[in-house]
Structure 1
Amino acid sequence: MTFYEKKLKKLSEVLYKNQGQIDSVIAVRNYIESNYETDLSLKMLSEIQYISKYHLIRLFKKYYGLTPRQYLIDKRIQKSKEHLVNGMTVTETCYAVGFASLGSFSVLFKTKVGKTPIQFQKEQLSRSKLVSDS
């Protein structure tokens, strides 16, 4: 092994010593991405990678800056915006993205977006009509 190969090996051991943790967090994030519309619990997400709930929260926050719950909510809000722009009703959107209650969906949507879902949808529809009329 050459001098440079030894240095590269040592450097990669330092940089990627937490690869197992990184892989676990990525797997949980990918699971959330694929199953955001289902009823996801922290217990279930931690069992996917066989790590404790509390350790998962710490790791997820360390690598993504959000807890798994916050990430899930952001993903659902992002998808709900797409559904609303495509003409789905607020109620249909609420349940399609995995929220259990229309009230909690509306409150979270307004908190994250700054508008109620219906206000957002009306604004987007009026924008699209302006663009199509031009």
Structure 2
Amino acid sequence: MDPREVADLARLRRARDYMDRHYAQRLSVPQVASRALMSPAHFSRKFRSAYGETPYSYLMTRRIERAMALLRDGASVTDACFAVGCVSLGSFSTRFTEIVGETPFEYRRRDHGGMAGVPPCVAKVWTRPLRVPAGS
């Protein structure tokens, strides 16, 4: 790997960390790409190549991941939706169902008592939603 590629990866990591910290804010690809010092198109291509998903897909997965934690803690679906930065309950529910495999209401209603006493860092890994590529 040449020094330019290493520098690109460091900038992509910086942009990804920015999305992780600011997931609940309105974020656009141009805004995040500017953190990586790249054009939006170049950033999107590089991000997908490095992380296996588009920046938008990554951001939505992080939002759903955080919403899952809120729902396990008893937040309403509406409150979880808006707390993670989504502006449409319908779009949130559709994306949640696509990623998690059940509706937010079903997920919230399910017993999560088995997670009691589990450190948050471990719970985060155990419950992390995994995207399955289309056609797999």
Gaps (5+ residues) in structure 1?
Answer: 1-13
Q: Does 1:31 align with 2:31?
A: no
Could you list the runs of 4 or more consecutive aligned residues of structure 1 that deviate by over 4 angstroms after TM superposition?
14-17
Q: Does 1:91 align with 2:91?
A: no
User: How far did residue 50 of structure 1 move?
Assistant: 2.3
Q: CA RMSD in A?
A: 1.6
2:32 alignment partner, SS class: helix
The one-character-per-residue Cα deviations of 1:65-116 (angstroms, maximum 9, x if unpaired) are: 0111000011001110000001111000000001011010001111111111
Higher helix share: 1
Q: Does 1:22 align with 2:22?
A: no
1:58 alignment partner, SS class: helix
1:3 maps to none
| Alignment size in residue pairs | 115
TM-score (norm 1): 0.80
Gaps (5+ residues) in structure 2?
Answer: 117-136
Matches within 5 A, 1:7-86: 14=1, 16-86=3-73
Larger Rg: 1
Percent identity, aligned pairs only, is 31
1:18 alignment partner, SS class: helix
TM-score (norm 2): 0.79
1:113 maps to 100
